């Protein structure tokens, strides 16, 4: 019997603008708007793909509306990776929104992923591990 090690790898595709907002350093340069899809995704797929490692990519819905990003996501899914919902607009105050607003964020991202990217998500990742008491 051989022992195998298993793990799950998920990557949040948070754009550079998300980091500018959370650190309060102003507006991100326009040329970096899709840098995660243009630079980080190819690097990650070059790392994981040849090793047969599949990843769950958590996608911000509005980013998936950009046609080249949608194409990238379809290619990832066609390669066997999972695409997850990471809300529509990646609100930093998601835990403080009303239940209806949270539902809208999830539903709107789901619509984009179904209609624009033609993918159905089974997973949702909230932003920044935030939660609220019920």
Residues that bind Zn ion (CB under 5 A): 12, 14, 127
In angstroms, what is the minimal distance from the CB of 2 to Zn ion? 37
What is the smallest separation between the CB atom of 94 and Zn ion, expressed in angstroms? 10
Q: For Zn ion, which is the closer residue by CB, 3 or 131? A: 131
CB of 125 to Zn ion, least distance (A): 7
Contacts of 85 (CB under 8 A, 6+ apart): 58, 59, 61, 106, 109, 110, 113, 121, 123, 124, 125
DSSP3 helix / strand / coil % (the chain, rounded to 5):
50, 10, 40
> Which residue's CB is nearer to Zn ion, number 12 or number 82?
12
Calpha distance 41→91 (Å, rounded): 22
CB of 54 to Zn ion, least distance (A): 20
Q: Which is nearer to Zn ion, 3 or 129 (CB)?
A: 129
CA-to-CA distance for 74 and 83, rounded, in angstroms? Answer: 9
* 12 or 65: CB nearest Zn ion: 12
Q: What angle (nearest 5°) sits at the alpha carbon of residue 132, between those of residues 26 and 57?
A: 60
């Amino acid at each position: 019997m051989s022992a195998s090690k298993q793990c799950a790898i998920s990557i949040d595709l948070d754009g550079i603008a998300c980091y500018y907002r959370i650190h309060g350093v102003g507006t991100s340069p326009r040329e970096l708007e899709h840098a995660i899809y243009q630079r980080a995704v190819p690097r990650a797929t070059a790392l994981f793909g040849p090793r047969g490692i599949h990843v769950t990519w958590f996608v911000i819905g509005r980013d998936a509306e950009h046609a080249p990003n949608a194409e990238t996501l379809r290619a990832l899914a066609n390669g066997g990776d999972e695409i997850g919902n990471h809300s529509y607009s990646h609100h930093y105050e998601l835990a403080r929104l009303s239940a209806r607003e949270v539902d809208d964020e999830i539903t709107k991202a789901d619509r984009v992923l179904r209609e624009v990217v033609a993918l159905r998500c089974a997973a949702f990742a909230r932003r920044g591990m935030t939660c609220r008491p019920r």
